Homo-oligomer: A and B are copies of this chain.
């Protein structure tokens, strides 16, 4: 397990205020459901407006919340007055499944000053069941002088 020590004690406020400024995340209904050092969860209610042609939530939407969860997981460990940008991202879709809510979990694998590597997983929740929909890896770049 990596050492996950926040360099800005207001990390939870930063993440929450930043998500509020993301018009697209608001538009699709994404919400923060967990913020801890190196770990952020983003939850999304199912909505037919987000579907693809087979009646499932569009893969791009699942990637969007995975990217946000991963980026904010990196941001919890960022220095004050710096921001993060996604450099690259890779995901595997594991299965299609119906769900009431999806939760994207970003977990920092390697925090860094320039780059942070973050694992992301998306699960579909339906009653008591949790189904693994997507797994991936995201590289975030830390950038001085931008704020999230």
Contacts and interface: CB of A to CB of B under 8 A. Distances in A.
Interface of A: 2, 18-19, 21-25, 27, 48-54, 57-61, 63-65, 67-68, 83, 85-96, 109-110, 114-115, 117, 119, 132, 135-137, 139, 141, 146, 148
Contacts of A21: 53
Given A2-B132, A23-B48, 15 more contacts: A21-B53, A22-B52, A23-B50, A24-B61, A54-B148, A59-B67, A59-B89, A87-B92, A87-B93, A87-B115, A94-B117, A110-B132, A110-B135, A119-B135, A139-B139
B63 A89 contact: yes
A58 B139 contact: no
18 contacts: A18-B53, A22-B58, A23-B48, A23-B49, A54-B83, A54-B148, A58-B64, A59-B89, A60-B61, A60-B63, A60-B65, A88-B93, A89-B91, A90-B91, A92-B109, A110-B132, A110-B135, A114-B141
Contacts of A90: 88-91, 137
Q: At the interface, is chain A mostly helix, strand, loop or mixed?
A: mixed
Contacts of A61: 24, 60, 64
A49 B23 CA distance: 5
Contacts of A87: 92-93, 115, 139
A60 to B, nearest CB: 3
